[in-house]
């Protein structure tokens, strides 16, 4: 299968090239030229398989220049017992007969980013082999907290790669910062940026598009690539868990094969919910995709009006991984809904860059309304939802998951739809101890990793092993730079 750019359908690449490049040269996102179909027999054949087998089978439909043996080996490495704390990998926690929570945080960094970032480095290493690349790939990451750690954990000590992570100095949780600055590995670097996430992201994009820097780095034997969810190698492993979740529900008698379900996804860059959309397009029985935002509600407005308008205040919230005003992966959805109209997509993206706003066609609006419902949840409601799920179900959820739970309830109240619904849990509550403690009525005593014990002692819930181990770990990185100093940090890192 070939991949083309959302801004130019005439550019075509193999899957290995698409994974290696990360982003198309024209600024578009690389996207499969066709969406493979799955049928009932395919799903039935997966119902009694392990997660690893499901992953290899689903990914092989898209990565046609990788062998099944390669993909099986990658899946065993990515999702095995050294990495994930449950053999189910992505288990479902059922709250009542129509309400299920898909837990995606059982990997090494306790956030759902592991689901893709334990796989991407292996896909990329193979892509370097397959394309005869001799240079070392340097992955540049701007992170709002979870991606940076998950990417370093995935790429640490992977041959022919280096990874440099930039995070906003005061924009990540204490546990997230501790996770990043204690990262081990000879090929990793971490730097705090004085500014917010959008500043760090803009800095990375600037370095990517700077021909001068690219030339210097090429002379030193480096090429740049991305581990953000603009890379197709990030999206595809996420398609797997929607299909896997459906198989689990069927296996456990919670839905019957063919019955439709809804997915409700806490959304930032639109990668996770886009993966759910691909699963639906492939033929998974899905009714509605519910897009949950926090106070940064640009997507809620877009799904309701067809107008994307980023000109609004940026709010820093207790669900920082969703604090984002430009959701990059929406571009892939627009491309698909417009009938792969690369000119229309280029037009929208130019308008966004120029005026901070665009309005989609009536045809796209109609398609959006049919498949998506958007809602948002403010700070007080996020806390109240954590408290209520803890009290009513004895179930402790993090701040991002709480946004999804709350918006799922809004959807049900507004529409009366009783379709069985899976809301997606994207992080362990232990990554956001202070907010979670306050939400359940406790006073956080101390800060940073000290709060792990307090949350454990209050709730009896076990601390994820790797987070507990942070307490004794030495800080390895102490670098800070100004927004405009990021390129110097990169040039120094790749000396």
For residues 495 and 485, give the distance between their C-alpha atoms in angstroms, rounded to a whole number. Answer: 16
> Quick one: 121 or 271, whose CB is closer to ligand PLP?
271
Helices (H), 209-231: 211-219
Question: Helix (H, G, I), strand (E, B), or coil: what is residue 230?
Answer: coil
> Quick one: 145 or 420, whose CB is closer to ligand PLP?
145
For residues 201 and 251, give the distance between their C-alpha atoms in angstroms, rounded to a whole number. Answer: 42
Q: How far is the CB of 186 from ligand PLP (least distance, A)?
A: 26
Active-site residues, by number, are: 113
Q: How far is the CB of 382 from ligand PLP (least distance, A)?
A: 12
> Quick one: 268 or 375, whose CB is closer to ligand PLP?
268
- Is-contact 23 230, C-beta < 8 A? yes
> Quick one: 344 or 374, whose CB is closer to ligand PLP?
374
Q: How far is CA 289 from the centre of its chain?
A: 16
> Quick one: 146 or 331, whose CB is closer to ligand PLP?
146
Q: Got the DSSP string for 316-338?
A: P-SSGGG--S--TTHHHHHHHHT
For residues 349 and 343, give the distance between their C-alpha atoms in angstroms, rounded to a whole number. Answer: 10
Helices (H), 195-341: 197-208, 211-219, 232-251, 271-282, 298-305, 330-337
C-alpha dihedral (284, 297, 316, 391), degrees to nearest 10: -60
Q: How far is the CB of 111 from ligand PLP (least distance, A)?
A: 5
Q: Which helix (H) or strand (E) holds 288?
A: strand 286-293
What is residue 172's DSSP assignment?
S
Q: How far is the CB of 330 from ligand PLP (least distance, A)?
A: 10
Task: Point out which residues bind ligand PLP (CB under 6 A).
Answer: 111-113, 146, 229, 266-272, 321-322, 400, 426-427
For residues 344 and 335, give the distance between their C-alpha atoms in angstroms, rounded to a whole number. Answer: 8
Radius of gyration of the chain (CA): 21
Helices (H), 394-443: 399-415, 433-439
For residues 424 and 272, give the distance between their C-alpha atoms in angstroms, rounded to a whole number. Answer: 9
Q: Which backbone phi and psi does 189 adopt, to 5 degrees?
A: -145, 150
Q: How far is the CB of 18 from ligand PLP (least distance, A)?
A: 18
Q: Which backbone phi and psi does 90 adopt, to 5 degrees?
A: -130, 75
Q: Got the DSSP string for 353-392?
A: HHHSEEE--HHHHHHHHHHEEEEE--HHHHHHHHHHHHHH
> Quick one: 58 or 291, whose CB is closer to ligand PLP?
291
Q: Residue 442 to residues 404, 408, 435, 438: CA-CA distances in angstroms?
A: 23, 26, 10, 5
> Quick one: 197 or 335, whose CB is closer to ligand PLP?
197
Angle between helices 379-393 and 399-415 (to 10 degrees): 90
Tokens at 106, concatenated: 């059982």
- Is-contact 494 222, C-beta < 8 A? yes
Q: How far is the CB of 131 from ligand PLP (least distance, A)?
A: 27
Q: How far is the CB of 204 from ligand PLP (least distance, A)?
A: 15
Q: How far is the CB of 454 from ligand PLP (least distance, A)?
A: 21
> Quick one: 14 or 267, whose CB is closer to ligand PLP?
267
């Amino acid at each position: 299968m070939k991949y083309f750019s959302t801004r130019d359908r005439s550019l075509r690449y193999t899957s290995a090239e698409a994974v290696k490049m990360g982003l198309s040269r024209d600024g578009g996102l690389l996207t499969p030229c066709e969406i493979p179909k799955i049928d009932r027999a395919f799903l039935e054949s997966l119902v009694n398989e392990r997660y690893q087998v499901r992953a290899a089978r689903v990914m092989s439909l898209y990565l046609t220049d990788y062998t099944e043996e390669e993909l099986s080996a990658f899946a065993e490495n990515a999702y095995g017992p050294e990495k994930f704390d449950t053999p189910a990998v992505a288990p479902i926690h059922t709250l009542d007969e129509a309400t299920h929570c898909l837990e995606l945080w059982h990997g090494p960094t306790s956030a759902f980013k592991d689901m893709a970032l334990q796989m991407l480095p292996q896909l990329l290493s193979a892509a370097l082999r397959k394309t005869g690349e001799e240079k070392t790939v340097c992955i540049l990451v701007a992170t709002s907290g979870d991606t940076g750690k998950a990417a370093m954990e995935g790429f640490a000590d992977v041959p022919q790669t280096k990874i440099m992570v930039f995070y906003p100095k005061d924009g990540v949780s204490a546990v997230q910062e501790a996770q990043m600055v204690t990262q081990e590995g000879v090929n990793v670097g971490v730097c705090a940026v004085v500014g917010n996430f959008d500043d760090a992201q803009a800095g990375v994009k600037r370095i990517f598009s700077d021909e001068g820097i690219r030339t210097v780095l090429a002379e030193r034997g480096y090429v740049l690539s991305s581990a953000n969810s603009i890379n197709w190698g990030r999206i595809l492993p996420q398609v797997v868990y929607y299909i896997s979740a459906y198989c689990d529900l069927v296996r456990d008698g919670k839905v019957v094969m063919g019955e439709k379900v809804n997915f409700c996804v806490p959304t930032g860059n639109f990668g996770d919910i886009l993966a759910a959309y691909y699963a639906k397009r492939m033929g998974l029985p899905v009714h509605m995709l519910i897009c949950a935002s926090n106070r940064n509600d640009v997507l809620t407005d877009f799904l309701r009006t067809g107008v994307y308008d980023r000109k609004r205040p940026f709010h820093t919230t207790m669900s920082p991984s969703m604090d984002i005003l430009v959701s990059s992966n929406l571009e892939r959805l627009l491309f698909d809904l417009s009938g792969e109209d690369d000119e229309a997509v280029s037009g929208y993206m130019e308008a966004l860059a120029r005026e901070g706003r665009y309005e989609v066609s009536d045809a796209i609006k109609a398609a959006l309304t049919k498949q998506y419902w958007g809602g948002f949840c403010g700070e007080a409601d996020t806390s109240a939802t954590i408290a209520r799920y803890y009290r009513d179900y004895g179930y402790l959820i993090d701040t991002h998951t709480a946004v999804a739970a709350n918006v799922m309830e809004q959807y049900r109240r507004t529409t009366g739809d009783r379709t069985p619904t899976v809301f997606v849990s994207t992080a362990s509550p232990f990554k956001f101890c202070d907010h979670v403690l306050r939400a359940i009525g406790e006073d956080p005593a101390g800060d940073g990793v000290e709060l792990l014990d307090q949350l454990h002692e209050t709730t009896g819930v076990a601390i994820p092993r790797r987070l507990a181990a942070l307490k004794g770990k030495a800080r390895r990185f102490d670098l800070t730079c100004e927004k405009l100093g990021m390129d110097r940090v990169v040039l120094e890192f790749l000396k």
